[in-house]
Chain A
């Protein structure tokens, strides 16, 4: 019997401070046993439990893409006991990764369709994974137009800034980066909240277009009416939810929204599915 609670041992290979407030760091892990990397085969949208030995586990979305080999990557916001301790760890330290867990964005259903990625704040991690996955030369032809609307409070709070700028330069992806506000005279992208920019830049909804939305509750709240107005049906609005989790495999009982466990039946749901639940997230 395979023990689903046993993490794979990993070494912290690289740590990058992502944001100007230093509250977000990206950790790149290498599996101690290369065979574990094979076993950890994942899809964009899944998460894993980061196991900080002696402190506990935290559920974090996988920020690397399955097309990136040799490591797995997670961006962690410093909030509680485990994430604070993790932020104080250094390259070379040993810890664990347990997963991959949960479902993924509906890649099969989105084949041949236009994809509009809408993200806010630090909820851009699995969206980064998705963009890298779709832009991979082996995959780009499987999708129609790709739009990305991504916003943060300030330019310094945007994740993966170098990559964002690289993607801006490409012609096979339409980037709409925005910040709530900035006094930087050299800021040459959008200014405004994500729902506003969505209204201005997102393509109209329809049979062939999916919106993948990930962000803080306030962003989601104000983005939904915009998508409704643009004609997105609720089975084409894809969302990734977060809840407190422990087991990550649908057993410990805390992350449910109605009968669905966010950890196992999610974290990815269509808005249509979420509407049928009590939305306790």
Chain B
């Protein structure tokens, strides 16, 4: 393990140097909130933000992305045949990503990188990206990462973890990508790994203790899918939902998409766009039949996917990292922590009622 010290007074110079090899992204203040943006020359990421309004998923998985181009002009050779397009997969780095958002990429990867098929757009962008995390010292009241398989110092998915230590950052190198990033910046002030690791451990413990919001997920796997699906609480959970899709839009682990052709004159492109299970069109058959035709169906799908189907399919925990964005931004206060509790307890109560 390697830990490097970065004095904050050389931070800007290091980033300048990095911008020669990497496209840099970081949290930037926009109106009253922060979002991840491409950093302009000389622009510094604002590492004082609590967390960004939107997750950084669009850096690897753009909200809209061209997949192929084509010509509809029959005078052209190769008309109506789709063509791959060139994309910029040069190295990029996301600076100040929170551990929860980095772990989200690891969860989403299970969808886009399978034994049978690999999504080339997502994977090439992911491989081109170095995730430079910033450990959380002061979580939001809606954060529940520690019980969602993550935490304020969680390293899974990160290449490098920065820890704020007053006048310096400690940079814990996690992968080769992280190592290359540090080298490219010219930061080579190694710390005694063992002693610093102990200090980091103490800070981690203190940070984790501050996360007081929790979910219980231990029963989710055991309960039958159809029992949970038919549980009576979905009526209540979905009652206030307006199917606005904010939850899926801000979620770092929501990956659903649509594919559309868009033409302009005789040329066009096939593109993919984020989609949402909250929308009726998502599942509407050509015949007019819709297997998820009520908002109850759609709300249930979202929570069942994250907290049951994903759990069963991949055996990698829940499809949620506890970032709390959907909790903060839902206009009608639907709270995944409460739904998770209902689901998890339903398992427990079902067991208790079993008649022998």
Contacts and interface: CB of A to CB of B under 8 A. Distances in A.
B268 interface: yes
A259 B67 contact: no
Interface in A54-75: 54-58
Given A6-B68, A278-B225, A280-B292, A249 B257 contact: no
Interface in B220-278: 225-226, 229, 255-261, 263, 268, 270, 272, 275, 277
A1 B117 contact: no
Contacts of A51: 82
Contacts of A106: none
A256 B277 CA distance: 11
Interface centre among A77, A250, A276 (most CB of B within 10 A): A250
B84 to A, nearest CB: 7
Contact of A79 (B287, B310, B312): B287
Contacts of B277: 253-254
Given A54-B261, A252-B256, A259 B283 contact: no
Chain A: interface secondary structure?
loop
A5 interface: yes
A83 B286 contact: yes
Interface string A231-261: 0000000000011101101111111101100
A246 B258 contact: yes
A243 B285 contact: yes
Given A254-B275, A256-B309, A96 B81 contact: yes
Contacts of A118: none
Contacts of A95: 80
B225 A1 contact: no
Nearest to A4: B117
B291 A7 contact: no
B40 interface: no
A258 B225 contact: yes
Interface of B: 67-68, 70, 72, 79-82, 84, 111-112, 114, 116-120, 123-124, 225-226, 229, 255-261, 263, 268, 270, 272, 275, 277, 282-287, 289, 291-292, 297, 301, 304-305, 308-310, 312-313
Interface of A: 1-7, 9, 32, 51, 53-58, 77, 79-80, 83, 93-96, 217, 242-244, 246-247, 249-256, 258-259, 264, 276-278, 280-281
Q: What 6 A-B pairs have minimum CB-CB distances, sorted nearest first?
A: A253-B256, A79-B286, A259-B309, A80-B286, A94-B80, A53-B80
15 contacts: A51-B82, A53-B80, A53-B82, A54-B72, A56-B270, A77-B286, A250-B117, A254-B275, A254-B282, A254-B283, A258-B304, A259-B312, A264-B117, A276-B225, A277-B226
